Chain A
């Protein structure tokens, strides 16, 4: 019974992936991609990777999906022209060949893994107590492999700077995106008033529970960013100009606190990003607290896009 479910799910996933690639219309492909992300979430749940499932649903399906919808609607004007100049058969076959080769290499890589696969999970389980954190994923992300998480946060910041740098010179420092005009008494404005209180609580809950159960700052921050975007889309609040000092301070605060705590570790625990004995939990919490607003702002602003309006007086 469970086998049938698994096979059906895998077949559905492969079919949806194929459909997404073959779809001619960019918007249809994006719709397929979002459904694909949600199905993949289900697969992660079945594999007991709840943390990964949460991240896939929030970032893989939700946030990336929203980014792609924005991209597809911007490309709509030039889509017909792009379709007219079709690449030649040689380019088609080359692209198909490269894709198949990459897939085959990945498949071989997975299949030749020894059984049981090499794993550090027993090491994590043996040492998790020193971090005083209950969720092994959080322990790995913020203690054993804290460097990766630090670089991840910085990469996101760079990505946002990349998005901003697409702004024309005259709009630099101005408000990102376009002013939204939604009916103030419409359904969107209604939801943008009702949903955020619930969403903010859910976001903080998922952030807070991350210490001991599946969850964490990335998933929580995505929910918070979604609530912020909803309020902006309904026209109830406007995006801040990117030149605001408070905004820029909050954007760098998370990585800076992370680096500072890491640097203190050089003195107190003899290594960058190491925590002194018995002090791991409060320091991990401090990093998470500092990263949360930074990530919320970065994820939200990334979706709003580059500045498209002049500096306010």
Chain B
């Protein structure tokens, strides 16, 4: 049972890391700011989600697991907000010029 859980952790955290890598590549290489924003938020939300889900079997208490999930939820909220705010500024700038 433990081996299965460990395997799940390795797989999920690796997948999360790959998503972060892909998001970073997108941030560096995509042509315009909207696309870069899109790449970044996908990596943040899903990548961190996979890392958190992967780490869940490794925590020693329920409250530690809940804290991890809370962190993910808070990052989801702040990431969505920040990308909205940035995109709005971009849109204003593009429509005015």
Contact = CB atoms under 8 A, between A and B. Distances in A.
Interface stretch (A188-196, A213-221, A294-302): A188-196
A193 B88 CA distance: 19
> Which of the four size classes fits the interface of chain A?
under 10
Interface string A178-212: 00000000111011001100100000000000000
Contacts of B81: 187-188, 190-191
B85 A194 contact: no
Contacts of B78: 191
A227 to B, nearest CB: 12
A188 B82 CA distance: 9
Contacts, number: 15
A198 B80 CA distance: 17
A198 B84 CA distance: 21
Contact of B74 (A187, A188, A198): A198
B77 A187 contact: no
Contacts of A194: 77
B85 A188 contact: yes
Interface in B23-70: none
A200 B85 CA distance: 23
A79 B69 CA distance: 43
Contacts of A187: 80-81, 84-85, 88
Contacts of B74: 198
Contact of A195 (B77, B84, B85, B88): B77
Interface string B70-97: 0000100110110011001000000000
A32 to B, nearest CB: 16
Residue picked from B74, B80, B81, B88, most chain A C-beta under 10 Å: B81
Contacts of A188: 81, 85
A52 to B, nearest CB: 20
Nearest to B87: A187
A198 B81 CA distance: 16
A154 B67 CA distance: 34
Contacts of B80: 187
List of 6 A-B pairs having minimum Cβ-Cβ separation, nearest first: A187-B84, A191-B81, A187-B81, A188-B85, A187-B85, A191-B77
8 contacts: A187-B80, A187-B81, A187-B88, A190-B81, A191-B77, A191-B81, A194-B77, A195-B77
